[in-house]
Amino acid sequence: MSETDVTNADLPADGPEPQVHGQRILLDGVTKRYPGQKAPAVDDITLEIPAGEIVMLVGPSGCGKTTTLKMINRLIEPSEGRILIGDEDVTHKDPDELRRHVGYVIQGAGLFPHLTVAKNIALVPRLLGWDKARIEARVTEMLELVNLEPDQYASRYPRELSGGQQQRVGVARALAADPPVLLMDEPFGAVDPITRQRLQDELLRLQEELRKTIVFVTHDFDEAVKLGDRIAILQVGSAIAQYDTPEAILANPANEFVEGFIGHGAALKQLTLTRVRDVDLHEAAVARVGDDPAQAVAAAEELGREHVIVLDGAGRPLRWLPLRALRRPDALTRVARDENLESVSLASTLNDALDEMLTSSHGVVVVTGRRGRYEGVVRIETVMEAMQGLQSPAHEAGRVTR
Ligand SMILES: Nc1ncnc2c1ncn2[C@@H]1O[C@H](COP(=O)(O)OP(=O)(O)O)[C@@H](O)[C@H]1O
Ligand SMILES: [Mg+2]
């Protein structure tokens, strides 16, 4: 593998390399024995997590994933071994101090119900003694980062948010003090599949900007393939069955345990290795709020389309409209956002796009880029072509882009 193969970044060729803000983590012979238990929950794990990468810990329930993760921020004390973050041995560092520099996100977000969204996000900056203005600015920045309108959400309470929104706030809170390391324990386990896909896409987008070191626990192998620069497949006692890139694990499972974990349909899983940004997008007929509907109809007819995608002032897709809905001269004056609009991001996988398409009435799915702006559409034909391409020997020898 060349070095470029292990990043998620896929940056524009002319852009600068983003700075890696993460720090390397090294687990060195780490063991955890819970009192009164014969076998250790984690038995002598040694694992190096490179700076700025997302490493996924996957494995069956009870294999020691959570215990391994919680030893990194010393919510659980190791019985043996050492843990380094950067060059610092954190095994003897003050745990409270340590946790201010290690973000932690859990399933169900773990927000404090009696604190507003803003206060939840401000928690660690406050502990670090930031002044009020800096904290306020940071809360706003974090809400924007996770795609929640600050004016609308800052003063709400967690119960006034959907599960997906709570999870976003959880991520914002974990990132508020700009920690080099982010630990995530099945963070998207409690939300519906579509919300999960969006949260995954957002995490990848965030990571392009942030380049943190992220250790992410999941029992879902597809999630591991999608998000991971590397995957550690764990057996009981956190024994590492295989530690490699998703491509390498799919191509060469180390043993029967890994094969079993990958499960059936490895060919279809290859669709998870192809990103929307790797295929050619199509152009839909586009109209903007405030446009003249008659012109929008004329333009759509020229392209031979029966629907237009309407964009808001910031270029974000609002909804599909059939041409007949554009007969009234004020049809584009105000257009409500379709909350169920099927869309994927450039970081989404073709598998995600296919999922969205299957629930869509259009056979196409809208693609959004930075700040949620419209980029184009993916059509079912594109997915089918990609699948055929993936099965051809030429592809196996050549590039597998992520
Ligand atoms: N606080 C605890 N006390 C005793 N045993 C525990 C405790 N937490 C976890 N275990 C045991 O340690 C093993 C690993 O648990 P855990 O790390 O939670 O696994 P995973 O996150 O992979 O499901 C399991 O056998 C579990 O029962
Ligand atoms: Mg667990």
Quote the tokens at residue 319.
């909804």
Q: State which amino acid sits at residue 84.
A: L
Task: Verify whether ligand 1 is closer than 6 Å to residue 67 (CB atom).
Answer: yes
The closest residue, in CA terms, to atom 2 on ligand 1 is: 34
Block residue for tokens 């967690």: 158
Compute CA 193 distance to the chain's CA centroid, rounded to the nearest angstrom.
13
Reply yes or no on whether the pLDDT at 302 is more than 60.
yes
Q: Measured on CA atoms in the order 176, 177, 180, 182, is the torsion positive or negative?
A: negative
**224 shares its domain with 337:** no
**309 shares its domain with 346:** yes
Compute CA 380 distance to the chain's CA centroid, rounded to the nearest angstrom.
24
State the CATH number of the domain containing residue 343: 3.10.580.10
**16 shares its domain with 78:** yes
Backbone angles phi, psi at 336, to 5 degrees: -75, 150
**187 shares its domain with 57:** yes
**83 shares its domain with 61:** yes
pLDDT value at residue 5: 37
Quote the tokens at residue 67.
């215990």
**259 shares its domain with 281:** no
The mean predicted confidence, pLDDT, of the chain is: 85
Give me the residues paired with residue 49 across strands: 25
Q: Ligand 2 mean position to 216 CA, how many Å?
A: 11
Query: Three-state SS string across 97-154, please?
Result: HHHCCEEEEECCCCCCCCCCHHHHHHHHHHHCCCCHHHHHHHHHHHHHHCCCCHHHHC
DSSP state of 401: -
Contact 102, 176 (CB under 8 A): no
Number of domains in the chain: 2
State the CATH number of the domain containing residue 84: 3.40.50.300
The closest residue, in CA terms, to atom 7 on ligand 1 is: 34
Q: CA–CA separation, 102 vs 256, rounded Å?
A: 35
In a domain, 161, yes or no: no
Contact 271, 358 (CB under 8 A): no
In a domain, 243, yes or no: yes
The closest residue, in CA terms, to atom 27 on ligand 1 is: 62
Torsion-angle region of 349 (φ positive above 0: left; ψ -120 to 50: alpha; else: beta): beta
Residue 69: give the domain boundaries. Answer: 3-101+179-263
pLDDT value at residue 14: 44
Task: Verify whether ligand 1 is closer than 6 Å to residue 35 (CB atom).
Answer: no
Task: Verify whether ligand 1 is closer than 6 Å to residue 158 (CB atom).
Answer: no
Reply yes or no on whether the pLDDT at 278 is more than 50.
yes
Q: CA–CA separation, 170 vs 237, rounded Å?
A: 29
Contact 180, 21 (CB under 8 A): yes
pLDDT of 90-101, one tens digit each? Answer: 888 888 888 888
Reply yes or no on whether the pLDDT at 125 is more than 70.
yes
Percent of the chain with pLDDT over 90: 45
Task: Verify whether ligand 1 is closer than 6 Å to residue 41 (CB atom).
Answer: yes
In a domain, 121, yes or no: no
**82 shares its domain with 227:** yes
- What is the pLDDT confidence band of residue 397, given thresholds at 50, 70 and 90? very low
pLDDT value at residue 291: 94
The closest residue, in CA terms, to atom 24 on ligand 1 is: 62
217 Cα nearest atom in ligand 1: 21
Compute CA 30 distance to the chain's CA centroid, rounded to the nearest angstrom.
28
The closest residue, in CA terms, to atom 20 on ligand 1 is: 62
Q: CA–CA separation, 304 vs 299, rounded Å?
A: 9
169 or 266, higher pLDDT = 169
In a domain, 377, yes or no: yes
Task: Verify whether ligand 1 is closer than 6 Å to residue 70 (CB atom).
Answer: no
Q: Which of 241, 263, 285 is the last residue of a domain?
A: 263
Block residue for tokens 């270029």: 315
Task: Verify whether ligand 1 is closer than 6 Å to residue 37 (CB atom).
Answer: yes
Reply yes or no on whether the pLDDT at 135 is more than 80.
yes
What is the mean pLDDT of the segment spanning 369-374? Answer: 88
Q: Ligand 2 mean position to 218 CA, how many Å?
A: 8
pLDDT of 33-62, one tens digit each? Answer: 999 888 999 999 999 999 999 999 999 889
| Ligand closest to the CA atom of residue 67 | 1
- What is the pLDDT confidence band of residue 11, given thresholds at 50, 70 and 90? very low
pLDDT-wise least confident of 72-81, 291-300, 337-346: 337-346
**193 shares its domain with 314:** no
In a domain, 160, yes or no: no
Q: CA–CA separation, 271 vs 376, rounded Å?
A: 20
pLDDT of 342-365, one tens digit each? Answer: 889 998 988 888 888 877 666 789
Contact 83, 72 (CB under 8 A): yes
In a domain, 111, yes or no: no
**189 shares its domain with 291:** no
Q: Which of 217, 236, 263 is the last residue of a domain?
A: 263
Q: CA–CA separation, 191 vs 248, rounded Å?
A: 29
**228 shares its domain with 258:** yes
Q: Ligand 2 mean position to 36 CA, how many Å?
A: 20
> Which of 37, 185, 186 for mutating ligand 1's site (highest number of atoms within 8 Å of CB)?
37
Q: CA–CA separation, 355 vs 25, rounded Å?
A: 35
68 or 266, higher pLDDT = 68
In a domain, 50, yes or no: yes
pLDDT of 209-247, one tens digit each? Answer: 889 999 999 988 889 999 999 999 999 899 899 999 998
Q: CA–CA separation, 165 vs 337, rounded Å?
A: 17
Task: Verify whether ligand 1 is closer than 6 Å to residue 363 (CB atom).
Answer: no
**329 shares its domain with 231:** no
In a domain, 239, yes or no: yes
Judged on CB neighbours under 10 Å (0-12, 13-18, 19+), 87 is exposed
**288 shares its domain with 378:** yes
Task: Verify whether ligand 1 is closer than 6 Å to residue 77 (CB atom).
Answer: no
What is the mean pLDDT of the segment spanning 60-76? Answer: 92
* DSSP secondary structure letters along 334-400: S----TT--EEETTSBHHHHHHHHHH-SSSEEEEE-GGG-EEEEEEHHHHHHHHHHHHSHHHHHS--
| Ligand closest to the CA atom of residue 187 | 2
Task: Verify whether ligand 1 is closer than 6 Å to residue 65 (CB atom).
Answer: yes
Q: Which of 263, 288, 314 is the last residue of a domain?
A: 263
Reply yes or no on whether the pLDDT at 170 is more than 50.
yes
DSSP state of 266: H
> Which of 27, 67, 68 for mutating ligand 1's site (highest number of atoms within 8 Å of CB)?
67
Query: Which helix H or strand E contains 219, and what residues bound it?
Result: none
Task: Verify whether ligand 1 is closer than 6 Å to residue 61 (CB atom).
Answer: yes
